[in-house]
């Protein structure tokens, strides 16, 4: 058994073990790393992993090229900071954008999607750590924009995304994930939304995220060790 197969199976078992609703959890395999060759991506597909995550448009385009026809099996997730001038390169095929961090970006995606007759699934990224190195809405800005965001007809706001603070303190990490779940529930109650997804948890903290209600985990290095 290869390392990729073994690691995928381990993560899938962890989903069953730690998630409060494992049937709802989606595994997004982050393929941005140089070590993720075409062969490893094909092995992910062979193990039933069809959701891939990229954080740079150029690298995503390179992955499309090297995968050839296999690319059509993939649900492509954009998980990084997306510049408005790059939206046009991915809008016709991207399945979900995890990183809406400002109204102007959402409006650009909405405009581009309308031109090609698509409705694109998106997540709103919230910066709960307060770290300048992380992207995402400040919470007060998000609340200010939420009504305008929900008026956009060609994006489907499915839920929220966050990245844990850069710390080894599990209580702080857990608190960040719990806070995102509470925000999601508050938004649904206050604004009448139906946000279902919580994209939180990566290779080092996905077990905690699952315990706190993650429905999407973004796993990179753990799959290729």
Using pLDDT thresholds of 50, 70 and 90, give the confidence band for residue 225. Answer: confident
Using pLDDT thresholds of 50, 70 and 90, give the confidence band for residue 25. Answer: very high
pLDDT of residue 160: 98
pLDDT of residue 190: 86
Give all domains of the chain, ordered by start, each with its CATH number: 3-223 (3.20.20.10)
**Which pLDDT tens digit goes with each residue over 36-89?**
889 999 999 999 999 999 999 999 999 999 999 999 999 999 999 999 999 999
pLDDT of residue 182: 97
pLDDT of 131 strictly over 80: no
pLDDT of residue 194: 87
pLDDT of 34 strictly over 70: no
User: What are phi and psi for residue 160, nearest 5 degrees?
Assistant: -125, 160
pLDDT of residue 1: 63
In the numeric block, which tokens belong to residue 70?
Answer: 């296999």
pLDDT of residue 192: 76
State the distance between the two ends of the chain, measured CA to CA, in whole angstroms.
Answer: 13
**Which pLDDT tens digit goes with each residue over 169-219?**
999 999 999 999 999 999 999 877 789 999 999 999 999 999 999 999 999
Spatial separation of the C-alpha atoms in residues 55 and 127, rounded to whole Å:
17
pTM: 0.94
Task: Tell me the average pLDDT of the chain.
Answer: 94
pLDDT of residue 134: 82
- Tell me the Ramachandran region of residue 130: left when phi exceeds 0, alpha when psi lies from -120 to 50, beta otherwise: left
Query: Under DSSP, is residue 212 helix (H, G, I), strand (E, B) or coil?
Result: coil
DSSP calls for 53-116: EES-HHHHHHHHHHHGGGGGG-EEEE-SPPPGGGHHHHTTT-SEEEEE-SHHHHHHHHHHHHHH
pLDDT of 13 strictly over 80: yes
Average pLDDT of the residues in 108-136 = 93
- Cβ neighbours around 140 below 10 Å, total: 8
Average pLDDT of the residues in 97-125 = 98
């Amino acid at each position: 058994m290869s390392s990729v197969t073994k690691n995928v199976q381990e993560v899938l078992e962890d989903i069953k073990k730690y998630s409060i609703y494992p049937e709802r959890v989606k595994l997004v395999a982050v393929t941005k790393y140089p070590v993720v060759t075409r062969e490893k991506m094909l092995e992910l597909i062979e193990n039933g992993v069809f959701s891939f995550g990229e954080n740079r448009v150029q690298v995503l385009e390179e992955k499309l090229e090297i995968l050839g026809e296999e690319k059509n099996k993939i649900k492509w997730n954009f998980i990084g900071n997306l510049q408005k001038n790059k939206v046009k390169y991915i809008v016709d095929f991207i399945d979900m954008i995890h990183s809406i961090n400002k109204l102007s970006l959402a409006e650009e995606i909405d405009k581009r999607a309308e031109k090609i007759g698509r409705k694109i699934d998106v997540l709103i990224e919230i910066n709960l750590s307060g770290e300048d190195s992380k992207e995402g809405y400040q919470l007060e800005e998000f609340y200010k924009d939420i009504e305008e965001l929900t008026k956009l007809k060609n994006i489907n706001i499915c839920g929220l995304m966050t990245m844990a603070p850069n710390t080894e303190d599990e209580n702080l990490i857990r608190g960040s994930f719990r806070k995102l779940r509470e925000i999601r529930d508050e938004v649904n109650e206050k604004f009448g939304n139906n946000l279902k997804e919580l994209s939180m948890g990566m290779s080092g903290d996905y077990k905690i995220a699952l315990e706190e209600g993650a429905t999407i985990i973004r796993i990179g290095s753990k799959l290729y060790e």
